[in-house]
Chain A
Amino acid sequence: MFESATEALALLFTLKGSLYLCLGVGIGLVFGAIPGLGGTTAIALLIPLTFGMQPAEAITLIGGVMGSVAFGGSISAILLNTPGIAPNAATCFDGFPLAQQGKAGMAIGAAATASSLGGILGVAILMAVIPIAKEIVLLFGPPEFFALAILGLGAIALSTGGKFLRGLIAGGVGLALAFVGLDAVNGGDRFTGDVEYLLDGVRLVPTLTGVFAIAEMINLTLKGGRVVSGDGASMKISRVSDGIVSVFRNVPILLRGSAIGAFIGAIPGVGGTVASFLSYASTVQASKNPESFGTGNIQGVIAPESANNAKDGGALIPTLAFGIPGSAEMAIFLGVLILHGLEPGPMMLVEHEGVVFSLIVAVASAAILASIIGLILARWLSLITLVDVHILAPTVVAVALVGVYALHNSMGDVAVAMIFGIIGFLMIRYDYPRITAVIALVLGELAERSYHQSMMIGDGSYSIFYGRPISAVLLIATVLIILSPSIRGWLRNRKREA
């Protein structure tokens, strides 16, 4: 095993290897930062280019993209309150307020550091788990996935506090939308009204671009001025190094975020959005002053950014164990393997060690390289916050929609993005949290499908959920999490009385 790892590392230090890595990182950063694009698009685009390459080279290129996309997205999240890719949505919550206070450099510095360390930790967790990867994947079946989906949904409902009611409603709407399209269990289609475009369901990329990017641009148009509040003359772009240092002052948050990211990343189909938000929400819950979040607490940047990079390590677990893609990018990566004559499956680690380690090394290196580039460019990037929003808004809208179109050459996607842009803006206007709708949209499909599958496996009895140890534990954890604020309030009251 060690020879393959060192071989993969050696490739990196060749001219060709590092060239491919840099190219991948460059593409990943740009595609990550532009709302409406993302890693999946970038990798899909690159596939034809990999035809002539050696497998290890192709994988270095793709790994480079994978490891850098999440950090690229954090840049627009921080500077424009618009996540570059959906997993950066949670970074907006505290990243953007920091930018508004003139601390964009610090936020980017923290994001860069958290991303690279999170990426490395995710890979470390993967390496630790590889020997038992198969067993882990076998432990998680439909009942466990159902319990996890419910846990995720419960956590988001909880985290909206004062907008709890509207958070639940937004979540309900998200769930309703999740059911549109082909029913994976029963085979028919639902809620499509015979519109062919809807057969694949409410498409995630245009919807999220609309709800976050377009809606935010409409909001900014009305707010006016510049991203940075206060007058420009006295504004300073704060030191990036402060951001870097802050990560090392918050190591527990980094560790927890990475663990959550790796774990959620290993669940096929759930992905970075849930991982980053759960990391954010758990950090808020664990914090001594939760009210400070949303106003520019640097921990609110570190938590999601470490998670959304660690998820790549996690996504490799089912991918390597059985050839089941842990994420959309992994699915395409597997396709590339097949194209090059490598057969993913339970023997992948045994038969294609070299290729596997090339990917791992590439992803980890990409995270570091992307962060270094980001740190160098941070000061210049922060200058965007000084640009008048009336120039920013139409530019972002235009470029985001070009990106949305480019995904599937579909104006239908652009129309969807626009519709959800309006809906998203109305949600901002009337205080319906968008993040709960988004998470519900992502988790709804998994929850319903796993529920039906579990019932079929368990012959119609609910005991399948509490009979199996893991799902039982998860369900109990869900109940505890939902009750936790009440429990804490009760404990606090008791202390006061004592």
Chain B
Amino acid sequence: MKSKIILSTAAAFVAAGFVGNAQAAFPEKDITFLIPFSPGGGMDSTSRQVAKNMGKYLPNKVNVVPKNVPGAGGRKGYGLLAKAGGDGYTISVINMPGAIIPQLTGQKVNFDVTKFVWVGRMSTSPYLFGVSGKSSIKTVADLKNLGRSVKVLSTGFGSTAYTGASIFKTVVGFPVQFVTGYKGSKQYIVGVVRGDGDAGIAPTQTFNKFVKSGDIHGVVTFEEKSSFKGVPTIAEAGYPELTGLGVERMVAAAPGTPANIAKILSDAVGKAIADTDSQAWAKKTRRPFGHLSGADTQAAVDKALAIFKKYPAALAKSN
């Protein structure tokens, strides 16, 4: 009997020691930073920059190792994150709203974005809605008064551009006919310049050069403050709830990651972004960061989901 008490007490101490150790010891080994996109793109370079500086802000100074896992528009990588253990050793960059559109539009995927544990936002690329420099359309009001459907060029149904344009047209209320199938934003912007259609929506950075050269005229920007001369923000145009519409680069940990580990990761992301090396990189490459903590990122995701819920028509196929 006595030996039993001693044994169980000893066991309790050992167990407590393990639990205590596990918590204090995170991270004990290198963390994998999945990048569900090909090397060389914006997702890749931003993620790598953050990964590079994250390690030194983590307890035990482990490495954060980026790993490209491209495929199916990101789905392969998201699937890997969903399967990974919730021990905090696997995180991934997540393109929002790109990652969540498949499940919202009823496609079969092997991950649930709502179960990801948000660790932060790295940057945000709000959209610009642009038309050809030669177009007669100049303002949001013109879109409504065109007298026919606005032909919007975009990537395929279910892409972030298609969905973004869809939300825009649903909220403002103008008819749109999509021309899909373009392989990327540059391609459909050139299509707009060529005259394949009337308009296109894409991150402001992608449009920069085209607006500068006069090939594209910006109708409205979804930034908080317009960086284009003479182009109103969506709030100024009368639809403030759409401010921020665009593409966001979030970081998430696998489902089931405990809150304290998520906080450690979140702090590390924030410090990695604030690091002078990252800030210098952002200035040099003209890719400003837009950091949000893990908790704030969760709020941003919830807000986006709320808009989708409010305007279900935005997710339906238009033509």
Contact = CB atoms under 8 A, between A and B. Distances in A.
B40 A338 contact: yes
A336 B196 CA distance: 30
Contact of B197 (A47, A187, A457): A457
B304 to A, nearest CB: 19
Contact of A457 (B179, B186, B208): B179
B180 A185 contact: yes
Interface string A380-413: 0000000000000000000000000000100000
Contact of B41 (A335, A343, A457): A335
A185 B75 contact: no
Given A187-B156, A199-B75, A347-B213, A141 B187 contact: no
A343 B39 CA distance: 16
Interface size on B, as a range, is: 35 or more
B157 interface: yes
B213 A138 contact: no
B186 A323 contact: yes
Interface in B146-162: 151, 155-159, 162
A456 B177 contact: yes
Interface residues of A, number: 44
Contacts of A141: 191, 194, 196
B110 interface: yes
Interface string B262-291: 000000000000000000000011100000
A196 B180 contact: no
Given A184-B183, A187-B156, A343 B208 contact: yes
B180 A338 contact: no
B190 interface: yes
Interface in A434-460: 449-450, 452-453, 456-457
Interface SS, A side? helix
A341 B179 contact: no
Contacts of B151: 457
Interface of B: 38-42, 44-45, 70-73, 75-76, 79, 105, 107-108, 110, 151, 155-159, 162, 177-184, 186-187, 189-191, 193-194, 196-197, 205, 208-210, 212-213, 215, 284-286, 317, 319
26 contacts: A44-B39, A142-B196, A182-B156, A183-B156, A185-B156, A185-B157, A187-B105, A187-B159, A196-B71, A196-B75, A196-B79, A196-B110, A200-B72, A268-B183, A269-B183, A322-B190, A323-B186, A335-B40, A341-B285, A345-B186, A346-B210, A408-B71, A452-B181, A453-B179, A456-B319, A457-B196
Given A324-B184, A324-B187, A324-B190, 15 more contacts: A44-B40, A141-B196, A142-B181, A186-B157, A186-B180, A187-B156, A187-B317, A324-B186, A335-B38, A345-B210, A347-B209, A347-B213, A408-B70, A408-B71, A452-B180
